[in-house]
Structure 1
C-alpha cells in the first residue's frame, strides 16, 4: 500500500504530524515560563491531543481527502496517529511533575481510555496482528459474537470522551488557563474538529437508498452485487466507493463496509455493480455468499 506515495500523501502526513500541532507548541514555549523538562512534557501532551483531534477528523472520511490520498492510506494514517498519540501521551504522563488531584485524575482516565481503545482496535478492528498470532485470532473468534463491528465502532467513539477529559484536564491547569492566547487557540482546535465531526454525522443521516437486484459468484472468492439506486438519488461516477449497510434481515449485520464501484455510469447511472473479493470477516460470512436466500438481498441498503 505504501510503496508508491503521492505528493498529496506526503503533505498530509507532514500537516497531520507537525504543522497542525505547531501553533499550540509555539504558544506554549513562548508564553510559559518553565524549565526544559516541563516544556517538553507539555509539548508531547499537546502532540497527543492534536493527533487525537486529527483522528476524529479522519473518522468522518472526508471525501476531498480520500480523493487525493485514497481510503487505505487514510486508514493507515488514522491507525498510525492513534499509536503515536498514545506514545506521546505516555511520555507526557511519566515526564510531568505532580499536579492537582483533579488535573491528574482527568489525565489518567484519558490515558487508560487510550490504552483500551488501542488494544481493542488492534484485536477487533485490524487484522495486522490477529492474522499473525494464533492466540489473538482465537480470542477474537470467541468474543466476536459480543464484540460486533458496530460495537467496535461505538467503543472507538470513546475518543470523544477522551477529548472531553483532556480538554478539561488542560483547562484545570492554572498555567494554561491564564494564557488567553493559548486557551483561545486550544478551544478553537477542539470546537472546529468536534463541530466538523457532528456536522458530518448529521449529513450522513441523508443516505442513498437502493435495492440489490443481482448477487452472483464469479469465482470461489469473488462475488458480484448489482444494486439499483432510487430514481431520486444522485448518479454515481466511475471510481466512486460506497459505505454499504444492509437492512431488513437478522442474518446480515447492519454495519457499513466500503466497496468500490466496478462499472461506469454510461449505461445506467442508477445501477451500480460491486465486484467483491471475499477476504475479510464480513465478506466471508455475511451477505457475500450465494448460499443465502435471494430474497434477503432484495432489501433496502444505505450508503454514505
Structure 2
C-alpha cells in the first residue's frame, strides 16, 4: 500500500510539474523567496551588533542582488526552463524581477548612505542598472510594449535610430553594473568579515557567472551552423527561408521557434527569434517564415544563397502542451504571421481532431493555402479561414458544438489577438490550463 501511494504521488507530482502554470508559480517562488533566504539568514545571524540598525537596508540590497543574478541567469535562455514555462514567460519574469531589483537597490541606497569608493561603485552600479532598465523597457520588453500603446509607438519611432544589435550590446552593460556591485560589497569591511554570507555571495555569483560563460561558449562554438539554401517571397512583406543543417539533433519540436544569426554579415550577427514552419527532424532542414518588420528582417531578402546561418534552439511549448493533454481535441486560433508555428503542429498531429480559425488582413496574406486544401481532405481536420478578424459570435457558435471539457486551445498571433481570445475563452468557461498562448514579442 505504501509503495502504491508513493508511486501515485510521483505520478501526481510529475503531472503538476508538466503544467506550465504550476511551473511558472514555482519559478516565482524560487526567485522571490527560496534563493534569497540563505543569504538573508546569514545577514541576520552574522551582522555585528554595532551595525544591527542597518539590517533591513542591507537585506534590501541583498534581495536586489540575488534577484538581479536571477534575471541574468534567465537572460541565458536555459532550454530546460523554456520547456517547463516557455521563453515568453521566462522573459516576463526576467523583466519584472529586474524592475523589482532596481527598486529595492534604490531603497537600499536611500536608507544606507555611504562614502568614498563604496558609494561610487554602488551608485554607478545602480545608475547603470536604471539606464539599461529604462532602455530595455522600450526596446527589449515586448511583454510591456505590446500592452502600452504609447511605449509601442515610441519603440517603433526609436528603432530607426537604434538597431537591434545595438540594443543587445547596451543590455550587456548589466554585467558591468553587476561587477560594480560586487566591488561595492567587497569594499565594506564588516560585510567582508561575515564569512558565511560572503561564501554564499561568492557561490551565487560564481554559479551565475559560469552559466553565462557556458551560454556564450555554446552560442559561439557549439551551436550548429547551417547554410541558407532557398529564399522565397511568399507575400508582400513575408519571406520563407530554408536552411540546410549538417546534422539535426533531437532538439527541435514541431511548433518551435529558433534564434538565427548570420555571423558573416554586418548588422545581422545577433540572434533573432523566428518560428519553424516545418518539422526539421522529418524534413532534414529548417523552414522559417518571417514578416519583414525591423532592420534585421528587412535585410533577409538580400541575404545571398549559401550564406552560413547560426541556429540556436529550438524553443517553445506548443507541442509539449499538446503532449501533456492526450486524448483531447485541438482548437487553434491564429492571425496573420501567427499561423506559422501552427503549420508544423497540424502536420504532426493530424491523428487528433483539429479545428483552426485563421484570419488575415487581406487575401494575399494567407500562407500555404495548398496545405490547408490538403488537410481539409483528411478526416480529423477542419478549418475556418477569413479576411478580417473573427467575431465573438462565430466562436460562440462553434463552442456550442463541441465538448469543451475535452478540448485544449492554442492561440498564436499578435498580442492584441492573444489577449482578446484568452479573455473570451475564460469568460465562456474555458479553464486557464486548457489555453496556451505563446506571446511572440520581445
Smaller-chain TM-score range? Answer: 0.7 to 0.9
Which structure 2 residue ranges, 5 or more long, are not aligned?
A: 1-18, 313-442
1:55 — aligned with what? 71
In the aligned structure 2, how far is the partner of 1:282 from the partner of 1:142? 8
Q: Detail structure 1 runs of 4+ shifted over 4 Å in the superposition.
A: 34-37, 219-222, 247-250
Compare 257-266 and 75-84 and name the one that shifted more: 257-266
SS of structure 2 residue aligned to 1:121: helix
In the aligned structure 1, how far is the partner of 2:151 from the partner of 2:260? 30
> Per-residue deviation at 1:153?
1.6
> Per-residue deviation at 1:220?
4.7
Do structure 1's residue 273 and structure 2's residue 291 form an aligned pair? no
2:161 — aligned with what? 143
1:107 — aligned with what? 122
In the aligned structure 1, how far is the partner of 2:75 from the partner of 2:261? 17
Q: Decide whether aligned partners of structure 1 residues 297 and 83 sit closer, same or farther in structure 2, where only a CA change above 3 A counts.
A: farther
Q: Where do 1:210-225 residues align within 5 Å?
A: 210-220=226-236, 222-225=238-241
Q: If the length of structure 2 is used for normalisation, what is the TM-score?
A: 0.60
Equivalent residue for 1:40, pick from 41, 46, 56: 56
> Per-residue deviation at 1:22?
1.0
> Per-residue deviation at 1:35?
7.0
SS of structure 1 residue aligned to 2:132: helix
2:93 — aligned with what? 77
Which structure 1 residue ranges, 5 or more long, are not aligned?
A: none
Do structure 1's residue 209 and structure 2's residue 217 form an aligned pair? no
> Per-residue deviation at 1:113?
0.6
SS of structure 1 residue aligned to 2:150: coil
Q: If the length of structure 1 is used for normalisation, what is the TM-score?
A: 0.84
> Per-residue deviation at 1:213?
2.3
Do structure 1's residue 169 and structure 2's residue 184 form an aligned pair? yes
CA contact (8 A) 1:238 1:263 kept: no
In the aligned structure 2, how far is the partner of 1:283 from the partner of 1:249? 11
In the aligned structure 1, how far is the partner of 2:281 from the partner of 2:153? 49
In the aligned structure 2, how far is the partner of 1:238 from the partner of 1:134? 31
Q: Decide whether aligned partners of structure 1 residues 40 and 34 sit closer, same or farther in structure 2, where only a CA change above 3 A counts.
A: farther
CA contact (8 A) 1:131 1:137 kept: no
Do structure 1's residue 301 and structure 2's residue 309 form an aligned pair? yes
> Per-residue deviation at 1:206?
2.1
Provide the aligned length of Structure 1 versus Structure 2. Answer: 288
In the aligned structure 2, how far is the partner of 1:236 from the partner of 1:222? 26
In the aligned structure 2, how far is the partner of 1:155 from the partner of 1:266? 36
> Per-residue deviation at 1:60?
1.2
CA contact (8 A) 2:225 2:309 kept: yes
> Per-residue deviation at 1:71?
0.7
In the aligned structure 1, how far is the partner of 2:53 from the partner of 2:24? 33
CA contact (8 A) 2:241 2:288 kept: yes
SS of structure 2 residue aligned to 1:259: strand
Q: Where do 1:119-198 residues align within 5 Å?
A: 119-127=134-142, 128-129=144-145, 131-133=149-151, 136-137=154-155, 140-144=158-162, 148-198=163-213
Query: In the TM superposition, what whole-angstrom CA distance separates every residue of 1:53-77 from its partner, at most 9, and x where no partner exists?
Result: 1122112111111110111111111
Q: Decide whether aligned partners of structure 1 residues 236 and 141 sit closer, same or farther in structure 2, where only a CA change above 3 A counts.
A: closer
In the aligned structure 1, how far is the partner of 2:97 from the partner of 2:107? 15
> Per-residue deviation at 1:254?
2.3
In the aligned structure 1, how far is the partner of 2:149 from the partner of 2:268? 22
